[in-house]
Structure 1
């Protein structure tokens, strides 16, 4: 199964994303970030929680314990593989793990091979112990669920919902009983363009995501929609990124927007897809992308970056030779060579 299986399911996702000075694409759509584009009058439920305790914890200096895993300290990425959460031939990660702002929950996208289905799963820390993985059920919403994401200062959980090839970002809010009130985020996607599998949110609410034109659906570019006074603005394409075989996709923006990770397949790459980074300059433009090199990239599939909620670690998924499916790896961001070389 390797990269080809992941990206065959994501055939529609291999295309999304691009460059950075600021190119505005006309749109006929207006939106408000009351996020009321299309409200789904359903409620969030979860499957019955399994009470099996997986691990005790020891917190790091920021209060995050990461399911009891010892965080990486050196300049080599290590596998994030807490017991019960390691991918196999049955399922693999379709996103990096994402922790809630308080560090007491972990969410991730799981691709089930036999079902050709993407689901969101989670685990919670209860009385100091982590529970077994539980599927997140969203009553009334079908299709694939991908890319769970939190936003600074917001109590909601964001994710991508895919039904019949149509991609949309939803937000649910926490209630006494769990999650509820799913609402489609009001992004003004330009006419003739389609959203991709992934997105990322900066601390100021700006949202980064890949778009592909309906005329060239297999090549995507990364866009940013700025968030002003509760309203998402018309997306602008990030310039200076160039394009690979399938463009650029899977963006992960730094909380302060000082740098941007993304995934791309290029002739100079090491494998099927590689991870790249662009740094933001004082004038708001981003640098030409830099391949993260063999410190991160392999001869196989690498991508889907995720920055930890405490801002210390980079998570990413990889299908290293000899590994079991797509598993997340992690490394301290300040140990990346591209930061030390600056």
Structure 2
């Protein structure tokens, strides 16, 4: 790949252009907003000049409702030899492209699963897609050359390619992206009704849960509407669980002790299923497949004081433990403790503990 065009210089489009430019690809920036193009170009994402000949690939990074029309227009203008997009909804976009008569042999649907709560070219980063999944949704009419070019794009952005059919993609992102975003927004909206003193008490938990709610409302309304068919059934099932939890809490707030026992069981069941679901995803978000944790073995000699000192040193390193395995015989002189950590924590924690005199394996 030598040349590319990025149509839409928002967060995703500019981040792609930055990644490509950093790998030696000439990126041409196109947007209806000239200021957005100027900012992206000033950040080194590419050139605002139109290409003199069709580029190797055009990345369409506009809202889902504009994707098909933009592809049709750019194909008519012969902008590129291959086209892909970054919309988080694939079935509707593909159907609209067919309806507009787009050449789908040169088209590969795409969706990089990365982003930030901020939008626009100023928020863009060349490493935004590092080790994150990037779904490609080729259809039976997609040409081999087009798919290979899209795979090259994913590789140049240091992402992890995943091939899915468009309907499978839409059901997946409804579950792991669109539903969580909607729930974050609904939760954050409750803060508008809270007293000032309550809002000031909000800590990391509330900030983590509501982080994505800061995203562009118009863009997300467009996304959710485009994937309504996959999202609506999930929301209906979630509503049933919310009704179960609300009913259980209402009974627990009552005075009759008999219904309270059943209500506590219902509430516990909802929470247990949440624990089970959470266990199915990686302990830390990185986009790539979940990697097993690393166990560091640290000799503490079985002494309580040494174990306490070890935990103090871990705390000083400001690195999180996933779990801890204590020795079978605490009193044994060569007792070792197993520190279970995420793979990316293993090296810095090892170095930090060794610098404090611990023998770490």
* TM norm structure 1: 0.24
Query: Which has more radius of gyration?
Result: 2
Q: Which structure is higher in RCO with an 8 Å CA cutoff and minimum separation 6? A: 1
Normalized per residue, which structure has more helix?
2
Normalized per residue, which structure has more strand?
1
